[in-house]
Structure 1
Amino acid sequence: MTQFQSDYQYSRTYQGPVQAVIFDWAGTLVDFGSFAPTQVLIDAFAGFGVEVSLAEARVPMGLAKWDHIQALGRQSGVAQRWQAKYGRPMSDADVDALYAAFLPLQIERVAHYSAVIPGALEVLSQLAGQGIRIGSCSGYPRVVMDRLLAHAASQGLTVEHAVATDDLKAGGRPGPWMALANVIELGVTEVCACVKVDDTAPGIEEGLAAGMWTVGLALSGNEAGLTLAELEQLSPAQRAQRRALASRKLVQSGAHYIIDTIADLPAVIEAIAARIANGERP
């Protein structure tokens, strides 16, 4: 067999505009503090006689809900309480049962928690006015996502595309598939011209795995874990402490930028656009 090696190296630099922003939902566009997923999980575990704290429920946030329940059951404190209650570790069959109890509660209550986060409508309008496509994805399954989309639309918030965690055979976060499904649907030609915006580590990792710029949200999402009213009651020093703790987690996950809420996004999109114009890639 004849073998040969070429010295040719293909090089191509994209220097065009930001083409798309892919948003998470809870804690990003709606549900300040990301309470809909966490509180319902707490209630589902309570139905099985096992106490779970809000802090514990937040640890695996961003994963698909079945995976979230499984990860929660493996945390030392929850695992010990489950063992004490049932005399054995949590099994996949137990996760199935918990998920079956969780899902109708989530469908019923998602709208209750999902008020639009201040600034979201204005930012989405501004992005659209710049010709930037708007996609989204979530750890919610499709039946919950459909309920959430309808509720968001009733408040004036719509996106061009939304991917639920069970829409794809490949799975959910922290893999790149939901983010990339948006790329395909929106007709994006350069993944490096996309920005993923999320409030959780798995969501940031999702964007990085897809080859996108990533923006973490420090104060509106899961890491700070406060309602807007609770956040506004903090002193400047307390708010700075919350911001620092949340930012540390998101930076460790690889976020390129950290902002407080979606209201701060336009300046970051402008900064990313300048870096792309200089030939930089995520």
Structure 2
Amino acid sequence: MNWQLACLDMAGTTVRDEGLVEKAFTVAVAAEDGFTLGSAGYERAIRFVRETMGQSKIEVFRALLGEEHRAAAANARFEVAYADLVRAGHVQPIAGAESAIRALRSLGLSIALTTGFARATQDAILDALGWRNLVDLALCPSDVPRGRPYPDMVLAAVLRLGVTDVRSVVVVGDTPSDIYSGLRAGAGIVAGVLTGLSDLEAFSAAGATHVLTSVNELPGLLRAMAPRAA
């Protein structure tokens, strides 16, 4: 297979999370009744946040809070809180992720970064890491009709980067939502990585084609799968 595109998730896959999503979420819901830190409502909500990692954050707040104005306000607070953490230097790449991305580019793949964060949050992370010129495309839920677990971001990357066959796409993420998104898009490789919250059992249940210790293993996997000359 002539691999053309790698769609890589950000937090937990190429970017270390270190619990930042949960910290920002805690700030975001602090103003909401019934979500005081340590309360039963908060504990139920944080479990839901963990279960829906990788999905559009505004959709998560809509599911938790119901009313659109409350969800929008909480999402805005989340973005501000996460951006504050980014500016404070708490966002770092997964060890070796940048080298892995460069290795994928050397193999001829275009690189798209995808996320469940809003555009402002994604941009803040890219700027903090200096990754603007490292990748070909960065997509967030507002760029497409639907975020993960739907295939829209992967398919948007296919169209924008001129990929000729969805089977030549590699999708990598740290949550079942990433796996569902890649499978629904028809990607040839849909791999889970163990640098986030999900484990081998979760990825197997979601239907991942491969499970990697980290994104660092992806270039080696593609090299091993390359056809050998006769």
TM-score computed with the length of structure 1 as normaliser:
0.71
CA contact (8 A) 1:136 1:179 kept: no
Q: Which residue of 2 aligns with 1:240?
A: none
Cα offsets for 1:109-158 (capped at 9, x unmatched): 2353320111112211111111111112110111111111111217x982
Does residue 103 of the first structure (1) align with residue 87 of the second (2)?
no
Distance in 2, matches of 1:110 and 1:65, equals 17
Does residue 207 of the first structure (1) align with residue 182 of the second (2)?
yes
Instruction: Rate the CA distance shift 1:189–1:152 in 2: closer, same or farther, 3 A.
Output: same
Distance in 1, matches of 2:155 and 2:71, equals 28
Q: Which residue of 1 aligns with 2:113?
A: 136
CA contact (8 A) 1:26 1:36 kept: no
Q: Which residue of 2 aligns with 1:267?
A: 220
Q: Which residue of 1 aligns with 2:25?
A: 41
Query: 2:139 pairs with 163, 186, 198, which one?
Result: 163
Q: Which residue of 2 aligns with 1:249?
A: 202
Distance in 2, matches of 1:261 and 1:157, equals 22
Unaligned 5+ segments in structure 1 are 1-15, 74-88, 224-245, 278-282
CA contact (8 A) 1:257 1:268 kept: no
Q: Which residue of 1 aligns with 2:53?
A: 61
Q: How big is the shift at 1:56? A: 4.5
Query: 2:94 pairs with 117, 137, 146, which one?
Result: 117
Q: How big is the shift at 1:70? A: 3.1
Q: How many residues align?
A: 218
Instruction: Rate the CA distance shift 1:188–1:123 in 2: closer, same or farther, 3 A.
Output: same
Q: Flag the structure with larger Rg.
A: 1
User: Aligned partner of 1:66: which letter?
Assistant: I
Q: How big is the shift at 1:90? A: 4.5
CA contact (8 A) 1:121 1:157 kept: no
Higher mean displacement: 96-105 or 170-179: 96-105
Root-mean-square deviation (Å): 2.3
Query: Residue 171 of structure 2 aligns to a residue in which SS?
Result: strand
User: Aligned partner of 1:163: which letter?
Assistant: L
Q: Which residue of 2 aligns with 1:188?
A: 163
Q: How big is the shift at 1:267? A: 2.8
Q: Percent identity?
A: 28
Unaligned 5+ segments in structure 2 are none
Distance in 2, matches of 1:191 and 1:271, equals 20
Distance in 2, matches of 1:94 and 1:121, equals 37
